[in-house]
């Protein structure tokens, strides 16, 4: 069981759930802490299946490389047969697509199904072809942005221009994380880490457009905090992530790079919660940040990278 939990990256599944849930909340702007509608639940279920599928198929296609660089992983070590992992990965991909179609039916909109189809294609493209190419980080970032859109379309959005800033910004942020982690198994180059950190910072700035774009028109759309206070909170959280990345640039040893990557991935949940805070207030923000418990406990069992 531990081998399977490691294969699907158990802690990171919490970040997938946080994205789609936050996407639904940002568009619907729910304020009462009630059980969300079926469309939201199906979108979250689809996100979990898609993320798990991507992680499993990633290791299936990388098994030859992992035999040299990461022989302790479940597939190269023989803990899980490759054929069985491939079967489970494809079944999870199909389950994600089916759940996305279910979200489309529940939302009475075709867009969650279209986003699910795009996610299916993006996951396959990254795992099978793009991962080792220059386009790899961008495709991985697109998967994260589409995951946000899965929740947003289940709520009937994005409905406003500033809402589009979130999936675009989070796509850039995760593209930066992916570039940062590209050589985490060996010795990373400082130049690559530096570029990746800049991309992460750009993504954080763009995602904050959810709040600062309305300010350009003199409108504050935050549910609780004044917009400048929210932006200061966002800058503080983003700065903490970038500071950990800067430490890895100063000391690009594999352990330091992996630590920075794990921290940046875990921060996705916190960032999602702060975006929900701006749209829905404290109650739903606390519910989203509660997914950190899943991440932290899961990390005690298996590593997130």
Q: For position 153, what pLDDT does the model report? A: 97
* CATH number of 146's domain: 1.10.357.140
Given a cut of 90, whether residue 300 has pLDDT beyond it is no
- For the whole model, what pTM was predicted? 0.92
Given a cut of 90, whether residue 181 has pLDDT beyond it is no
Residue-wise pLDDT for 37-46, tens only, equals 999 999 999 9
| Domains in the chain, number | 1
Q: For position 299, what pLDDT does the model report? A: 85
Q: For position 70, what pLDDT does the model report? A: 81
Q: What is the 3-state secondary structure (H, E, C) of the chain?
A: CHHHHHHCCHHHHHHHHHHHHHHHHHHHCCCCCCCCCHHHHHHHHHHHHHHHHHHHHHHHHCHHHHHHHCCCCCCCCCCCCHHHHHHHHHHHHHHHHHHHHHHHHHHCCCHHHHHHHHHHHHHHHHHHHHCCCCCHHHHHHHHHHHHHHHHHHHCCCCCCHHHHHHHHHHHHHHHHHHHHCCCCCCCCCHHHHHHHHHHHHHHHHHHCHHHHHHHHCCCCCCCCCCHHHHHHHHHHHHHHHHHHHHHHHHCCCHHHHHHHHHHHHHHHHHHHHHHHHHHHCHHHHHHHHCHHHHHHHHHHHCCCC
Given a cut of 80, whether residue 303 has pLDDT beyond it is no
| Domain of 266, in residue numbers | 2-301
Q: For position 186, what pLDDT does the model report? A: 66
Given a cut of 80, whether residue 221 has pLDDT beyond it is no
């Amino acid at each position: 069981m531990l081998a399977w939990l490691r294969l699907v990256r158990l802690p990171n599944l919490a970040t997938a759930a946080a994205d789609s849930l936050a996407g639904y909340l940002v568009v619907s702007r729910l304020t009462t802490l009630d059980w969300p509608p079926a469309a939201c639940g199906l979108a979250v279920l689809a996100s979990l299946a898609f993320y798990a599928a991507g992680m499993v198929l990633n290791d299936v296609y990388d098994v030859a490389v992992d035999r040299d660089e990461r022989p302790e992983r479940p597939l190269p070590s023989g803990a899980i047969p490759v054929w069985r992992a491939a079967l489970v990965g494809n079944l999870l991909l199909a389950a994600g697509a089916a759940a996305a179609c279910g979200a489309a039916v529940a939302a009475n909109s075709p867009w969650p199904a279209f986003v699910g189809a795009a996610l299916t294609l993006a996951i396959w493209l990254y795992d099978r072809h793009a991962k080792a190419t220059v386009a790899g980080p961008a495709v991985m970032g697109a998967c994260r942005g589409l995951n946000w859109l899965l929740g947003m379309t289940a709520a009937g959005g994005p409905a406003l221009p500033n809402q589009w800033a979130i999936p675009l910004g989070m796509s850039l942020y995760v593209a930066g994380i992916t570039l940062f982690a590209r050589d985490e198994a060996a010795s990373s180059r400082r130049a690559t880490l530096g570029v990746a950190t800049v991309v992460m910072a750009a993504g954080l700035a763009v995602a904050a457009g959810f709040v600062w774009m309305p300010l350009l028109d003199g409108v504050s759309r935050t549910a609780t905090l004044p917009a400048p206070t929210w932006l200061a909170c966002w800058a503080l959280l983003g700065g903490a992530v970038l500071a950990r990345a800067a430490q890895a640039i100063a000391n690009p040893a594999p352990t330091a790079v992996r630590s920075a990557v794990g921290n940046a991935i875990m921060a996705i949940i916190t960032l999602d919660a702060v975006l929900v805070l701006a749209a829905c207030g404290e109650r739903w923000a606390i519910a989203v940040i509660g997914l950190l418990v899943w991440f932290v406990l899961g990390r005690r069992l298996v590593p997130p990278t």
